[in-house]
Amino acid sequence: MAKNKKRSHGLLSFLLWLLLMSIILVSAARSEDRALLIGVGRYAQFEERLNGVSLDLSMMREMVHLMGFKHSEIKVLEHEQASTARVYDAIENWLINGVGADDRVLFYFSGHGSQIPDENNDEDDQFDEVLLLYDTVLTEKHGRQTLSGVLPDDHLNHMLARMKSRNILVVLDACHSGSATKRLQLSSRSFETGQAKVKYFYYSPALEAAGGSGSFDLMKPQRQAAPGDDSHYVAISACRDDEKTVATAQGSIFTLGLRQTVRSAAAAGASITPEELQLGTTKFIREQIRADVAVFHPQIAGNLDLRKRPLKLVSPDGGKGFVRQKLETLVHKSNETVWLKLNKACYEPGEALEISVWIPEPGFLNVMHITADDQATVLFPNHYHLHNAVVRGKIVLPTGRMDFEMVAAGPSGLNLITAFLTRSPINGYQDGFKTAKGVLAELSPNSTRSLVMRQGSGWLAAGKVVAEIRGSGQCRLE
């Protein structure tokens, strides 16, 4: 009898221990950083479309990777996936139920903003600001036109307040005021934008009553929390209440600025605060948009401590950069090989770089240089050799038309030279961000995405070669 009691007691202790460990493991598994990226560029009920939203999501994936989020910690809802039910479910179960107090949360939205008649009398202008989701529908309520299938600012506020995390970053690439004007002629200083589309959804003349101004609740002055206050978020929006942000074929200008600012900081091994991110993005927009009338100004709000706290950034060196990995994957999956050979295996700063490329068949050639810190430059085509149609055979860079010398530059380490040949036109220089003198261009997300699409749906030939850059006198030591 005593033995049975002892055995029962031992079994009970083991089961209690097992239950405790299960709770700890489940808690640990559910407690992690979380990023929710939402992009809506087309709608179930409207013909309205926004170009570049898919590019926005690709750029934000890169940005959150640089911020140290793992692939498993990122959820993306794009177009049809971003229905009302799925967005609310993701916020509830991915963010609210998925994070602890010490975990980071990032919420990003790219798409149309708009306004609907205020129903709870908490808005001075009698309008609630909303984000349009995929299944947004134009409807009528109390004799007034309105929208359903949207994410109102009130709802997002309540859901943010329920999150346990004390470190939430909200990024909104939409605008909440505007007029019936849907398109803008936008000219950039360093890349081709095409026709820009305003990210405000105008559906009724009644919206004019808002006076051309609308502010998401998160960004209002009363939400500017002082240090030590209970607010646990910082929010960055694309523009002021009375301004318009825009989407282009190259991606939305605001998101492009975010990406560029974070990439630059990570490559330099520097930290960056949300306030510095806002200022850097503002500078990018001001430098890129030629017409003052089209310039808009990103805004920041939320907890002052969080606004000044450095964001965690991961260095892209060591061959682990986002762009480098994407291009190497494309080379690995290509249908045919483009052979490359360099004039040297090891380069010191300033030494001449010569690249021989063997073209397997006629097509359009793009050659890129990716430095050890993941900065990608399009070497061919360029300002002196604008057209990149080539025939079968060998081509040597720089070509006779290229009135400049290609030289080794950038931090020491293993650099990658890649070549991509497509049967339909892709021009990395025309689509890229031109350098200061305009001779070369930085590889744009749009060009990278075009190569991915060619590989996925058609034919792509590619090749790569590694070039090592060392400090002065280091190559001669071997």
Residues 29-63 have pLDDT tens digits of 446 899 999 999 999 998 888 989 999 999 999 99
Q: CATH 2.60.40.1930 region(s) of the chain?
A: 322-472
As given in the structure block, the two tokens for residue 368 are 């890129």
Fold observed for domain 322-472: Immunoglobulin-like (2.60.40)
| From 176-180, 263-267, 412-416, the region with the lowest mean pLDDT | 176-180
CA 139 to chain centre: 33
Residue 148 is predicted with a pLDDT of 93
Look over the chain and give the mean of its residue pLDDT values, rounded to a whole number. Answer: 85
Q: Calculate the alpha carbon distances from 138 to 115, 152, 406 in Å.
A: 12, 15, 56
Q: Whose structure tokens read 């503002």?
A: 282
What is the rounded CA–CA span in Å between residue 247 and residue 39?
12
pLDDT at res. 51: 86
* CATH 3.40.50.1460 domain range(s) in the chain: 31-308
The residue-averaged pLDDT of 411-427 equals 94
Q: What is the rounded average pLDDT of the residues 142-158?
A: 90
pLDDT grade for 21, boundaries at 50, 70 and 90:
low
Sequence-distant (≥ 6) Cβ neighbours of residue 336 within 8 angstroms: 360, 361, 421, 459, 460, 461, 462
| Paired tokens of 326 | 């994407």
pLDDT confidence of residue 277: 97
CA atoms within 13 Å, Cβ hemisphere of 418: 28
CATH code for 31-308?
A: 3.40.50.1460
pLDDT digits (tens, 9 = 90+) for 207-217: 766 555 556 66
Q: Higher confidence at residue 380 or residue 124?
A: 380
Report the pLDDT value the prediction gives residue 341, as an integer from 0 to 100: 97
Residue (of 212, 176, 197) closest to 56 by Cα position: 197
Whether omega for the bond prior to residue 362 falls within 30 degrees of 0, making it cis, is no
Q: How far apart are CA 250 and CA 18, in angstroms?
A: 54
> Residue 460: pLDDT above 60?
yes
Which regions of 242-320 does DSSP assign to beta strands (E)? 246-247, 299-302
Max distance between CA atoms of the chain, in angstroms, equals: 98
For 147-160, what is the mean pLDDT?
Answer: 92
The pLDDT assigned to 161 comes to 92
Confidence band of 293 (pLDDT split at 50, 70, 90): low
